[in-house]
Amino acid sequence: MTTLERTVGAEVTRIEGHDKVTGTALYAYEYPVPDALYGVAVQSTIARGRVRSVDAGAALALPGVVAVLDSGSDGVPRLHPTDDPELSVLQSADVAYRGQIVAAVVADTYETACQAAAALRVTYEEEAYEVELRDGDPHIFVPDTVNAGYPGRTEKGDVDTALATAPVTIDATYTTPPEHTSAMEPHATIAVWDGDTLTLYNGDQGPWMTAGAIAALFGLPEGAVRVVADHVGGGFGSKAVPRPPTVLAALAARAVGRPVKVAVTRQQMFTMVSYRTPTVQRIRLGAERDGRLTAISHNALQQSSRLTPYCEQTVTATRMMYAAPHRRTIHRLSQLDVPTPSWMRAPGEAPGMFALESAMDELAYALDMDPIELRVANEPSVDPESGNAFSSRNLVACLREGAARFGWAGRDPRPGSRREGRWLVGTGVAAGNYPAITWPASATARAEPDGSFTVRIAAVDIGTGARTALTQVAADELGVALDRVTLEIGRSVYGSAPFAGGSMGTSSWGWAVSKGCRALAKRLDEVGGQVPPGGLEAHADTTEDVRARKDLARHAFGAQFAEVRVDADTGQVRVDRMLGMFAAGRIINARTARSQLRGGMCMGLSTALYENLELDPNFGDFANHDLASYHVAAHADVRDVEAHWIEEEDDQLSPIGAKGVGELGIVGAAAAIANAVHHATGVRVRDLPITLERVR
């Protein structure tokens, strides 16, 4: 079926690794752009109301200040309406949340711009605001559709009767806090106008899609905006679509007629570039005594801003994980005077599966059944809601193989049964899954007379290893050594391509690269391998191929195991080891895939123990907006995290057979840890993060 056998699967080191560690790889803010000015955003200090006045006198008096912009400024371009109102930067005096951009300063140095921003006097008409997510509020509603187009609500059978008559039931509510992406590289943009053409050097997960969105915003034809994102220092979803600071850079550059650089500070990131919604999730399970589920009900409440009803797909994993004749899943949304939440690694699946997989552990205890056997007993033969077959589903293999490697056999399930000195020790398991998504993409492959090859695609490498994986795909399809192929990525002008999001990058881009290289190889054959002086080129687009695929349920699966120690006196939790066993189709690069999976698991550990945006209702804002007060797992927390995978052949995905590994590793990780904490202590922590006071 495929020729991907020479380098695909190998432990190839990152092609750009040397450039990165020697500091020669350019990130958005570092491009040498002559004559650039510095833009600094000024954020609202009220949670709701209107800007009454902006007194720019003191700011403009500072030497080097070029402009102060607010929604009333003459030079500020009027933007076209967009389906993301967060991007309507400086278009109105209305304030929808604390931290929204209400003005900006442009100056000849960054320091001057900061000083001027601090000198601006903004006055407001303040209104009463509401920022707390409270179940029962009358404005809460069920959206028809949620993020990615999933239905807001699904129902099958008669859940209420099934729950009322089930011999064993679980009814529990789990909460997860708002969390922040905090990518290593804060968001940054340099905007350069040339007539009606705009170039954006942008920290970006999707250069082609950003270019289209910004062009629409400025009323420009497709192609008038070019995005450059050669290297990106992480995103975790926060750079998947353009954010207000990118728009601000473009708008300010337009207004002052010179290039403008905007760097978002670490503190500003916490309100300007989205966050993960908090959730309140009620799960009800009904089961027969043999463990077979008769009913599953999952109801998730979450928040969005007043600006737009973004609703995360928190219950979608529950729709396909386990068989049960009676099922109901509902999203509910509360629109508050808060910044708009958006995608953060496995949006929906990560918090949703914390709840479901905790509830499954609770059910295993209620049934006196091994939690792995409980999951195996509820393995569906087809997707329980759509009725579609799975392209491949190896959850059971992951659970079994993971259990063997972790050393699950012989575990005494009684909580508190293992004590080592002052430490209570426990183990936990949880399942995970992430949809295997593939979008159309286009690529161009070129052969040069000197025997080298260049492949261009508007893919982006946000630290995942995508550039390296795609080079492997290209080299294998062309049948040449890796060092003869150069992958040029990160530029919108290379053609239509999806973002590095939804774990679809490698599968989507890889298909286009594979198709382009095959077409080029065929042309090379036709000319007897003799590349003409001007080179030889082939273009590929996978739109029709992706469309022609069968209707199947395509998902990657995982089983997560954790061993924790809990201090019997203080409640301190240490995660001694984690082991993930995954099934994600063909692994293109063993080294970078393992890194992705382990990274996801570490982020899950971080979710389980630390991450928590604390909302201060007195100000209507997150109180912790730096990495000193927003805690993430550090090296000392990550002791022993292993990721493995089973060999999985799935010919219903794409010719490269990959499912994607970017998000899979985080799903279920927090539940495995919470379940291990319960096993260690007997305390069921249903609210993340698992802090000391919740364990004791």
Nearer to ligand MOS (CB atom), residue 236 or residue 453:
236
Judged by CB under 6 A, the residue of 212, 278, 347, 599 near ligand MOS is 347
Q: β-strand 536-541 against 485-488: which pairing, if any? A: unpaired
By rule CB under 6 A, what count of residues binds ligand MOS?
10
Residues of span 464-503 touching ligand MOS by CB under 6 A: 501-502
**DSSP conformation class of 494:** G
CB of 279 to ligand MOS, least distance (A): 15
3-class SS of residue 331 = strand
Element (H, E) at 452: none
Which residue, judged by CB position, is nearest to ligand MOS in the bound state? 237
Nearer to ligand MOS (CB atom), residue 177 or residue 347:
347
Residue 344 binds ligand MOS, judged by CB under 6 A: yes
Nearer to ligand MOS (CB atom), residue 205 or residue 607:
205
Segment near ligand MOS (CB under 6 A); pick from 129-137, 211-219, 339-347, 514-522: 339-347
Are the C-beta atoms of residues 286 and 168 closer than 8 Å to each other?
Answer: yes
CB of 264 to ligand MOS, least distance (A): 17
Nearer to ligand MOS (CB atom), residue 237 or residue 465:
237
CB of 364 to ligand MOS, least distance (A): 30
The owner of tokens 């590095």 is 500
Nearer to ligand MOS (CB atom), residue 465 or residue 501:
501
611 is known as an active-site residue: no
Which two tokens mark 584? 């994600």
Give residue 627's identity as a one-letter amino acid code. L
Segment near ligand MOS (CB under 6 A); pick from 54-62, 132-140, 233-241, 599-607: 233-241
Radius of gyration over every alpha carbon of the chain, rounded to an integer in angstroms: 26
Angle between helices 669-681 and 590-609 (to 10 degrees): 50
Alpha-carbon distances of 110 from 22, 115, 117, 264, 671, rounded to whole Å: 25, 9, 10, 12, 44
Angle at 100 between CA 96 and CA 104, to 5 degrees: 135
Residue 251 phi/psi, 5° resolution? -70, -40
Judged by CB under 6 A, the residue of 327, 345, 375, 491 near ligand MOS is 345
CB of 357 to ligand MOS, least distance (A): 19
On the CB side of 584, CA atoms within 13 Å amount to 32
Report d(CA 598, CA 560) in Å as an integer.
11
Report d(CA 212, CA 82) in Å as an integer.
12
Residues of span 500-539 touching ligand MOS by CB under 6 A: 501-502
Give residue 555's identity as a one-letter amino acid code. H
Nearer to ligand MOS (CB atom), residue 291 or residue 502:
502
Residues of span 163-222 touching ligand MOS by CB under 6 A: 205
**Edge-to-edge strands, sheet with 260-263:** 65-70, 101-107, 37-43, 260-263, 188-194, 197-202, 225-228
CB of 344 to ligand MOS, least distance (A): 5
Nearer to ligand MOS (CB atom), residue 312 or residue 621:
312
The owner of tokens 């960054």 is 110
Nearest to 672 by CA among 314, 415, 431: 431
Element (H, E) at 321: helix 316-321
Identify any residues that bridge with 564 across adjacent strands, giving them in sequence order.
426, 575
Judged by CB under 6 A, the residue of 188, 240, 538, 613 near ligand MOS is 240
Chain mean position to CA 666: 10
Segment near ligand MOS (CB under 6 A); pick from 36-44, 337-345, 537-545, 549-557: 337-345
Nearer to ligand MOS (CB atom), residue 157 or residue 440:
440
DSSP E strands, 514-597: 536-541, 555-567, 573-583
Residues of span 268-307 touching ligand MOS by CB under 6 A: none
Identify any residues that bridge with 605 across adjacent strands, giving them in sequence order.
none
Residues of span 85-144 touching ligand MOS by CB under 6 A: none
Angle at 213 between CA 212 and CA 218, to 5 degrees: 100
Catalytic residue among 132, 611, 663, 693: 663
CB of 358 to ligand MOS, least distance (A): 22
CB of 181 to ligand MOS, least distance (A): 8
177: left (phi over 0), alpha (psi -120 to 50) or beta: beta
The owner of tokens 């309100």 is 271
CB of 350 to ligand MOS, least distance (A): 9
CB of 141 to ligand MOS, least distance (A): 24
CB of 99 to ligand MOS, least distance (A): 21
Which two tokens mark 166? 């089930």
Nearer to ligand MOS (CB atom), residue 179 or residue 621:
179
Nearer to ligand MOS (CB atom), residue 269 or residue 521:
269
The overall longest dimension of the chain from CA atoms, in Å, is 78
CB of 424 to ligand MOS, least distance (A): 35
Nearer to ligand MOS (CB atom), residue 437 or residue 474:
437
Report d(CA 235, CA 649) in Å as an integer.
30
CB of 502 to ligand MOS, least distance (A): 4
Are the C-beta atoms of residues 142 and 331 closer than 8 Å to each other?
Answer: yes
Segment near ligand MOS (CB under 6 A); pick from 157-165, 194-202, 236-244, 264-272: 236-244
Nearer to ligand MOS (CB atom), residue 341 or residue 502:
502
Are the C-beta atoms of residues 45 and 206 closer than 8 Å to each other?
Answer: no
On the CB side of 116, CA atoms within 13 Å amount to 29
Q: β-strand 293-305 against 279-287: which pairing, if any? A: antiparallel
Alpha-carbon distances of 433 from 238, 348, 558, 608, rounded to whole Å: 21, 11, 6, 18
Are the C-beta atoms of residues 196 and 224 closer than 8 Å to each other?
Answer: yes
Active-site residues: which are they? Answer: 663
Binding site for ligand MOS (CB under 6 A): 205, 236-237, 240, 343-345, 347, 501-502
